Chain A
């Protein structure tokens, strides 16, 4: 099946810093989404981005489907950005396959 790797696995930032999270995948995909899992386990959908670039406030994402990767940018990070970030892919068979995740800790 499709392989989804995220990097870095762990990231510690000072409040106000910027960061880039990467998602590499092994096959062509129909859909790609980025999620934030908060400390209570709730998954929040950040972007639906099978290709191109989108921005929402301090967050933006870019997917280059032909090169099989996606990037999530976090600017001016805040402590509330802490948690785990997942990319998840839809291979055309409906189910979403989740990446390995990036655990982010933003310290004050």
Chain B
């Protein structure tokens, strides 16, 4: 079945530094990928839609200069949290939409802790 690899699974960084999270579709091509954020005991909130070869579309209230998204190939999207602060600590999950089947597959998530 379709597999999405997300790395790292867990990261701790110092306040003010940047962190990059990778989302890779292993056995299918995904022109479109999605990035979600989930706070404890809450639902998944869509942050942005990542489109290969073009700029990402950000949801209202999400700072595009803080959450940089790059989707340079049909199998890889990256999310960079720039100048991270403790309030950015959260669980980040990516999803890739299969270009052929239109199915959605989710990565295993990245738990970010900013200290």
Total of A-B residue pairs, C-beta within 8 Å: 43
Of A45, A96, A100, A103, the contact of B34 (CB 8 Å cutoff):
A96
Residues of A within 8 A of B43 (CB): 86, 98-101
Encoded as 1 (CB less than 8 Å from any B CB) or 0, chain A from 71 to 88 comes to: 000000000000000101
Secondary structure at chain A's binding surface: helix, strand, loop or mixed?
strand
Interface size on B, residues (CB 8 A): 22
Interface size on A, residues (CB 8 A): 19
Residues 84-101 of B at the A interface (beta carbon under 8 Å): 91, 93, 95, 97
Supplied contacts A95-B49, A96-B46, A99-B43, 13 more A-B pairs, CB within 8 Å: A41-B93, A41-B108, A43-B93, A45-B103, A45-B105, A48-B103, A94-B32, A95-B34, A95-B46, A96-B95, A98-B36, A98-B45, A101-B42
Interface residues of chain B, those whose CB is within 8 Å of chain A, are 32, 34, 36, 38, 41-46, 49, 91, 93, 95, 97, 103-106, 108-109, 111
